[in-house]
Structure 1
Amino acid sequence: MSPARAEAKITLILGGARSGKSRLAEELAQKRDGQLVYIATAEAWDDEMRARIAEHKVRRGDRWHDVEMPIAIAEALRTLPADTGAVLVDCLTLWLSNLMHANRDIAMETAGLLAALDAVRFPVLLVSNEVGLGIVPDNRLARDFRDHQGRLNQAVAARADHVVFMAAGLPLILK
C-alpha cells in the first residue's frame, strides 16, 4: 500500500533518524512525470557526512537534478520552472540548524518558506525530523532547536495536503 496521494501538492514526511523518510520521499517523487529536483540542505563538514550525501545521490540516480541550498530554499523553489515534475527538500531539520548557525530570523525564514510553498505550481515533498518525542534537552540551545523544529513542522504540516509519519520504515498517514 502506498501512502501517496496523486493530487497532493505539498507533502510533509516526518520521522526520526533512519526511519525511511528520505527513501519514501524519493519513491513518491519518482511516481511523477517530468524533471525531479532535489534541494539538499546538508553541508558536508566531515567524511561521514560526505559518505551519507554520496549514498543518497547514488540511490536517487540520474533522473534527479541536485540543488545544494543550505539556507535559501524558498528562493530555490521560486526560481524553478512551473513544469518541474516534483521537488524534494531534504531536509528541513538541517535547514533549521543552518539558519540557527547563521543567526537568521527563524520566524521570517519560515514565513518565506510558507509563502514559496503557497506559490509553487509543482508538487513539493519536504522531509523533516520529529525531534519532540524524547526528553527535554538539558541546555538552552538544544531546547531552542527542538522548539523551533516543532513550530516549523506544525507550520508546514498546516500547509501540506498530505503528511506522513515514518517509524521503522513504515508510513503512518497523519493527514
Structure 2
Amino acid sequence: MVRGKLKVVIGGVRSGKSAYAERFLIEEVQRDGGRLVYIASGTATDSEMQERIDRHRLERVTTDWTTIEQPMKLEEVLPAIRQGDAVLWDCVTTWLANELYAGWDFGTPCIGDPDCMEQKEVRLFETIESLLTEAAHLVIVSNEVLDELPSMYAETRIYCEWLGRIHRKLVSIADTAIEMDCGIALYWKNGGKEVAE
C-alpha cells in the first residue's frame, strides 16, 4: 500500500494557512478524485473563537467537505477515514492546548503530569501514520507562536516547548513543509527534500 503524502503548513494568525490548505486539497480532489475531509480541533471557548469556527464552517459550505469535530484524541477519527481521502487537520495548536489541559476540571491537567504529554505525542504520531495508510493526502495546519520572546508564565513555556517539539517532528516526516507569510507560501521542504535558501 502506498503511503499518502503529508504536507505541513505553519504560519502566524491570519497568515492564510487554512485557506491555502483548503485550496490545495480541493485542487487535488478535482484532479484525482476522492473525498474532502476536514478534521477541526477548535473549540468555542469565547465569542471570538465561536465567530471563527462559524466563519470556517460557512466557507466550507460551498465545497463538499465532510467535517469531523475532534478537539482531542485524534485517533478517534481513524474509523471515519476512507482510502483515497484528502484530509485537512486544522489545527495542531488548538489540539495541543486541549490535550495539555485535559483533566483540568478534575484537578489533574495533563500539563501537570510529566508522562502524560509524552504518551499523547506517541499516539499522535501513530495516528498520523495510520491516516497516511488511508488518505491520499494529509495536510496538517498549525500556528507559529514561537517567534515571540519567551513567556514569563511556566505553563505558556511548556506549551511552546511542546509545540516546537511537535513541529520539528512533523516537518521531519513531511513530504512538504510550508511557512505561510502574508498569504504567500514559502517552501522549506518540498518532495521530502529541504529547499535551499
Give the match for residue 109 of structure 1. 120
Structure 2 portions without partners, runs of 5+: 103-108, 111-115, 190-197
Q: Deviations over 1:115-169 (max 9, x none)?
A: 1222322111000112211101111011111101000111111111111001111
Q: Compared with structure 1, are the counterparts of its residues 158 and 74 closer, same or farther at alpha carbon in structure 2 (3 Å cutoff)? A: farther
Judge conservation of contact 1:38–1:87 (CA < 8 Å) in 2.
Answer: yes
Secondary structure of the residue aligned to 2:124 is helix
Q: Distance in 2 between matches of 1:39 and 1:113?
A: 14
CA RMSD of aligned residues (A): 1.6
Q: Deviations over 1:28-70 (max 9, x none)?
A: 1111222111111011122221111111111122410110000
Q: Distance in 1 between matches of 2:4 and 2:11?
A: 19
- Percent identity between matched residues is 32
Give the match for residue 73 of structure 2. 72
Give the match for residue 159 of structure 1. 173
TM-score, length-scaled by structure 2: 0.80
Paired letter, 1:73 = L
Secondary structure of the residue aligned to 2:99 is helix
Structure 1 portions without partners, runs of 5+: 1-6
Judge conservation of contact 1:20–1:169 (CA < 8 Å) in 2.
Answer: yes
Q: Distance in 2 between matches of 1:97 and 1:21?
A: 19
Partner of residue 151 from structure 2, selected from 137, 141, 147? 137
- 1:92 paired with 2:103, answer no
The number of residues matched between the two structures is 168
**Superposed displacement of residue 91, structure 1:** 0.4
Q: Distance in 2 between matches of 1:158 and 1:166?
A: 18
Give the match for residue 30 of structure 1. 26
| Structure 1 stretches of at least 4 aligned residues deviating more than 6 Å after TM superposition | none
